[in-house]
């Protein structure tokens, strides 16, 4: 098996998760690292045995390194477009974090470049890999729900809530993040709903709000204005005629990492949630029963996808396409829906996604 040499850009919270997952993939070596933080480089470099000569503070240098076969990019959002473009120009396969970019304009530039010079690429809309959501998709494809009429999606976290007095971080800065919980958690909700149902959002109407408008700077103690949303909701129509209601929050006290979807079809209702990703709830008319019944469907663990293994295959050229994984085109479409949510809020009106050019 050909060895795959991975270069990791950004060594913060999410990168640590990627690095641990790659440990399970045979034939993969973490060959190079990049972070603007010398401390992070030293720590992760030491843990993964990456020589000092391959610990970079410039992502351009890592991308140029001929001993890097594939790149995993896990940096804050304002660097997504520039790293994507540099990888595309260098012809380096890329596994990139969501949201695709900070702004819609950046996504258009990236897409245009990618269409001229396509490289193997996966965008990390990670929830779609989960065993429960994979099973939900399979059941819908089998026709278990019949026609889908409506759905409810929510992605709730609590870490921004008032009692936590969470300090100011890049996720609250529009110049870095673009949007707040919308691009962070909302991008996952949009991907999940479209992926599981197989239908795209066509039109929507939204409300964004900032529940906690100021936060303390952890270095200076100064009060910083929050310029992004920390709650977002919208209602949407899908191309198949169904409708959906979406909400996401960083201030939902009592939630952990609660991402869930309930899909209402002609034949029944299916519910899948990260709160219990080994079970789905299925309500339907069971033969011989006078009333609808709700049953638990056990989710086989082997339903989950393993993107790190698939990325290694993609880099080796053993897999032309990445079935089940979000492509750069999917990332672009996701960014277009995010833009529609922003414009709908700004104009207080419904926005058709296809009108966004």
Ligand X SMILES: NC(=O)c1ccc[n+]([C@@H]2O[C@H](COP(=O)([O-])OP(=O)(O)OC[C@H]3O[C@@H](n4cnc5c(N)ncnc54)[C@H](O)[C@@H]3O)[C@@H](O)[C@H]2O)c1
230 binds ligand X (CB under 6 A): no
Q: What are the residues whose beta carbons fall under 8 Å from the beta carbon of 32, sequence distance 6 or more?
A: 5, 6, 7, 8, 50, 54, 55, 56, 62, 65, 67, 68
39 binds ligand X (CB under 6 A): no
Whole-number Å distance between alpha carbons of 32 and 41 = 10
Which span (4-12, 231-239, 245-253, 315-323) binds ligand X, by CB under 6 A?
A: 4-12
Which span (23-31, 33-41, 192-200, 277-285) binds ligand X, by CB under 6 A?
A: 33-41
Restricted to residues 244-303, the positions that interact with ligand X (CB under 6 A) are none
Label residue 11 exposed, middle or buried (CB < 10 Å: 0-12, 13-18, 19+): buried
Q: What are the residues whose beta carbons fall under 8 Å from the beta carbon of 11, sequence distance 6 or more?
A: 33, 34, 35, 37, 40, 41, 43, 44, 74
Whole-number Å distance between alpha carbons of 218 and 231 = 23
Q: How many residues bind ligand X (CB under 6 A)?
A: 23
Which of 163, 338, 282, 102 has its CA nearest to residue 351? 338
Please, what is the minimum distance in Å from the beta carbon of residue 156 to ligand X? 15
Candidate list 18, 55, 92, 98; residue touching ligand X; CB under 6 A: 98
Cβ distance to ligand X smaller for residue 62 or 145: 62
x/- string (CB under 6 A) for ligand X, residues 155-194?
-----------------------------x----------
Label residue 49 exposed, middle or buried (CB < 10 Å: 0-12, 13-18, 19+): exposed
Cβ distance to ligand X smaller for residue 12 or 324: 12
Burial 273-301 (b: 16+ CB within 10 A, else e): beeebebbebbbeeeeeeeeeeeebebee
Candidate list 30, 34, 111, 299; residue touching ligand X; CB under 6 A: 34
Cβ distance to ligand X smaller for residue 97 or 203: 97
Cβ distance to ligand X smaller for residue 4 or 74: 74
Which span (29-37, 85-93, 209-217, 307-315) binds ligand X, by CB under 6 A?
A: 29-37
Cβ distance to ligand X smaller for residue 194 or 203: 194
Q: How many CB atoms lie within 10 A of CB 322?
A: 19
Candidate list 4, 11, 94, 315; residue touching ligand X; CB under 6 A: 11
35 binds ligand X (CB under 6 A): yes
x/- string (CB under 6 A) for ligand X, residues 123-142?
-x-x----------------
Q: What are the residues whose beta carbons fall under 8 Å from the beta carbon of 221, sequence distance 6 or more?
A: none
Label residue 219 exposed, middle or buried (CB < 10 Å: 0-12, 13-18, 19+): exposed
Candidate list 74, 151, 190, 280; residue touching ligand X; CB under 6 A: 74
Candidate list 8, 15, 192, 272; residue touching ligand X; CB under 6 A: 15
Residue 7 C-beta-side C-alpha neighbours within 13 Å: 28
Cβ distance to ligand X smaller for residue 9 or 139: 9
Residues of this chain that bind ligand X (CB under 6 A): 9-15, 34-37, 40, 59, 74-77, 79, 97-98, 124, 126, 184
């Amino acid at each position: 098996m050909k060895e795959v040499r991975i270069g990791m850009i950004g060594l913060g919270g999410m990168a640590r998760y990627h690095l641990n997952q790659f440990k399970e993939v045979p034939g993969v070596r973490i060959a190079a690292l990049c972070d603007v933080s010398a401390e992070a480089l030293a720590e992760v470099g030491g843990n993964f045995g990456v020589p000092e000569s391959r610990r970079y503070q410039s992502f351009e240098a890592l991308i140029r390194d001929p001993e890097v076969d594939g790149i995993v990019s896990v940096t804050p959002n304002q660097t997504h477009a520039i790293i994507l473009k540099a990888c595309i120009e260098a012809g380096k396969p890329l596994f990139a974090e969501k949201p695709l970019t900070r702004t819609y304009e950046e996504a258009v530039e990236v897409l245009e470049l990618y269409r001229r010079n396509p490289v193997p690429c996966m965008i990390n809309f990670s929830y779609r890999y989960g065993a429960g959501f994979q099973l939900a998709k399979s059941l819908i494809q089998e026709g278990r729900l019949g026609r889908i009429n409506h759905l409810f999606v929510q992605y709730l976290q609590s870490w921004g809530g008032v009692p936590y007095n969470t300090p100011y971080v890049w996720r609250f800065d529009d110049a870095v993040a673009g949007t707040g919980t919308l691009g962070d958690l909302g991008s996952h909700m949009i991907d999940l709903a479209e992926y599981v149902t197989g239908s795209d959002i066509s039109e929507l109407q939204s409300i964004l709000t900032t529940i906690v408008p100021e936060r303390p700077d952890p270095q200076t103690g100064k009060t910083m204005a929050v310029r992004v949303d920390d709650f977002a909701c919208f209602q949407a129509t899908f191309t198949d005629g169904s409708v959906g209601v979406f909400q996401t929050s960083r201030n939902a006290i009592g939630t952990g990492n609660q991402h869930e979807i309930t899909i209402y079809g002609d034949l029944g209702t299916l519910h899948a949630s990260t709160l219990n990703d080994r079970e789905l709830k299925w309500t339907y008319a069971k033969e011989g029963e006078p009333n609808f019944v709700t049953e638990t469907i056990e989710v086989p663990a082997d339903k989950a996808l393993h993107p790190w293994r698939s990325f290694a295959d993609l880099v080796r050229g053993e897999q032309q396409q990445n079935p089940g994984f979000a492509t750069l085109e999917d990332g672009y479409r996701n960014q277009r829906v995010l833009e529609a949510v922003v414009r709908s809020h700004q104009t207080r009106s419904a926005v058709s996604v296809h009108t966004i050019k």
